[in-house]
Structure 1
Amino acid sequence: MRKIILASMAAAAFSLTACSEKAQQETSEAAGAVADDAAAAGDAAAAGAADAADATAAAAKDAGAAVEGAADKAGNVVEGTVNAAGDAASKAGDKIADETKKAEANDKK
């Protein structure tokens, strides 16, 4: 009877060991799958971050070009204003000279 009990216990122990190895293998495979999924998620996040950085750089470049264009236009407006003021000052100077000549002519009469 002892032999039967010992044999049964040995068989049960062997079954548990085999089951345990199978469970370990399945756990290892599941852990590998989880690691692969985590790596894929990390790769996707990195790619998304790179795309966002590229989009930000492009937007900054476009904004820089817009600012440069606005500065050029503002410079042209200032130049036009300065030219107009110069022309007005010149005309005023000419008018003053003409009026001065007229006044001197009147004084001589």
Structure 2
Amino acid sequence: IPLNIAEGIAEGIAEGIAEGIAEGIAEGNGKQSRKDKNRFFEISRGSALECASIHDVLRVCDAIDEDSDRRGKSDLKRIVSMLTRFIQRKQKVAARDIEYEYRDAEHEYDPNADA
């Protein structure tokens, strides 16, 4: 395969993987159970690591410059770190169902009462 075609293929694959990372995070956040959330976060984490390896290929082929590679790898490292923390969380992330009510109290607090 000619180098310019290989570069185009690798860049297309990397873009598809990057979209998959975002979709996995979004889908994981939409799940209720920790097990389901972690499944999607783990898939997204693996995709981010895969994207980093494609960055290596693009850099070796001189398809991206050193600065772009460094910035991209830095972003991917942050994404992997974030997903790792999400996966390691033991607590439930979903908000509790709390119903707030307004009560018209007879003796409401008046901040100007002491003045």
Same fold by TM-score greater than 0.5 = no
Bigger RCO (CA 8 Å, 6+ sep): 2
Could you tell me the TM-score, scaled by structure 1's length? 0.31
More helix as a share of residues: 1
Q: Normalising by structure 2, what TM-score?
A: 0.30
